[in-house]
């Protein structure tokens, strides 16, 4: 007998991505089974094409860290799905979908070769940007992972934007309208958490520990 999808996972399209609503009364194993089934059988069409942001809603279900990791692992195996938010009961009530340029937003996943992740406002990306991949933002870009592809911050002309990464080895950097490539010796230097910024019309790269010299306001990280 063929396995049939249940209603433990509801997938809906929104203006800028998808929401995955998880049933909060079923067994966790049933939830996982239904999620896998929908991604592999009934909703394969959402796994093709450009990157898609995913907002996860768990209702009143309280997940353990292990259960949360299981769900995120299933979604991360799908090349074009990027988890943007994970709303759990302990969190404050969902904020209205209004762009707030003073608050950084967390996005998780991986940007593979040929993929482009576009974002408005400061973004903290938890994952790697591989060679051939691109990440862009109207504001700052912080990458908790490797930057091996291209990053463009301040795409609307914001020259105060910065680009930072745990492993800083980009193929190309852009801030506002200025384009720069890393120094030739960059590929051989030790891995540092570094950042790029503009000073007097010139792009410079420095260790992340020195970002305070720019007078950066990290209040944008409050509440993430």
Structure tokens at 132: 């051939």
Q: Which residues contact 222 (CB under 8 A, 6 or more apart)?
A: 103
Rounded alpha-carbon distances, angstroms, from residue 200 to 170, 197, 203, 205:
22, 10, 8, 14
The arithmetic mean of pLDDT across residues 80-87, rounded, is 82
58-73 burial: b if 16+ Cβ within 10 Å, else e: beebebeeeeeeebbe
pLDDT for the residue numbered 166: 93
Residue 211 backbone dihedrals phi, psi, to 5 degrees: -65, -25
Can you give the residue ranges of every domain in the chain?
9-87, 105-219
With 0.85 as the threshold, say if the pTM is over it.
no
Is pLDDT at 134 greater than 90 in this prediction?
A: yes
Q: 3-state class of 49 per DSSP?
A: coil
pLDDT for the residue numbered 190: 53
- Between 51 and 130, name the one with better pLDDT: 130
pLDDT for the residue numbered 74: 86
The arithmetic mean of pLDDT across residues 170-180, rounded, is 93
Tell me the pLDDT of the chain averaged across its residues.
81
Q: What confidence category does residue 14 fall into, taking pLDDT thresholds of 50, 70 and 90? A: confident
Domain 9-87 shares a fold with domain 105-219: no
CA–CA dist 138, 117 (Å, integer): 12
- Between 181 and 179, name the one with better pLDDT: 179
Q: For 52-75, what is each residue's pLDDT tens digit?
A: 888 899 888 888 889 988 988 888
- Between 165 and 79, name the one with better pLDDT: 165
Q: Is 215 exposed, middle or buried (0-12, 13-18, 19+ CB in 10 A)?
A: exposed
* CATH class of the domain whose range is 105-219: mainly beta
- Between 78 and 116, name the one with better pLDDT: 116
Question: What is the dotted CATH code of the domain comprising 9-87?
Answer: 3.30.160
């Amino acid at each position: 007998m063929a396995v049939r999808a249940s209603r433990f996972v509801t997938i809906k399209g929104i203006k800028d991505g998808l929401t995955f609503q998880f049933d909060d009364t079923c067994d966790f194993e049933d939830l996982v089974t239904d999620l896998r089934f929908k991604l592999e059988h009934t909703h394969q069409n959402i796994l093709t094409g450009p990157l898609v942001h995913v907002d996860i809603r768990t209702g009143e279900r309280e997940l353990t860290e292990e259960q949360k990791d299981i769900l995120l692992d299933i979604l991360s195996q799908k090349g074009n799905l990027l988890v943007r938010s994970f709303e759990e009961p302990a969190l404050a009530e969902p904020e209205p979908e209004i762009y707030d340029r003073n608050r950084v937003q967390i996005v998780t996943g991986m940007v593979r070769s040929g993929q482009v992740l576009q974002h408005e406002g400061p973004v903290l990306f938890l994952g790697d940007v591989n060679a051939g991949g691109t990440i862009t933002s109207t504001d700052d870009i912080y990458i908790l992972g490797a930057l091996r592809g291209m990053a463009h911050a301040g795409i609307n002309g914001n020259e105060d934007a910065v680009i930072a990464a745990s492993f800083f080895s980009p193929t190309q950097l852009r801030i506002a309208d200025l384009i720069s490539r890393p120094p030739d010796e960059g590929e051989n230097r030790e891995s540092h958490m570094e950042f790029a910024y503009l000073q007097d019309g010139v792009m410079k790269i420095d260790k992340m520990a020195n970002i305070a010299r720019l007078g950066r306001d990290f209040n944008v990280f409050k509440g993430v």
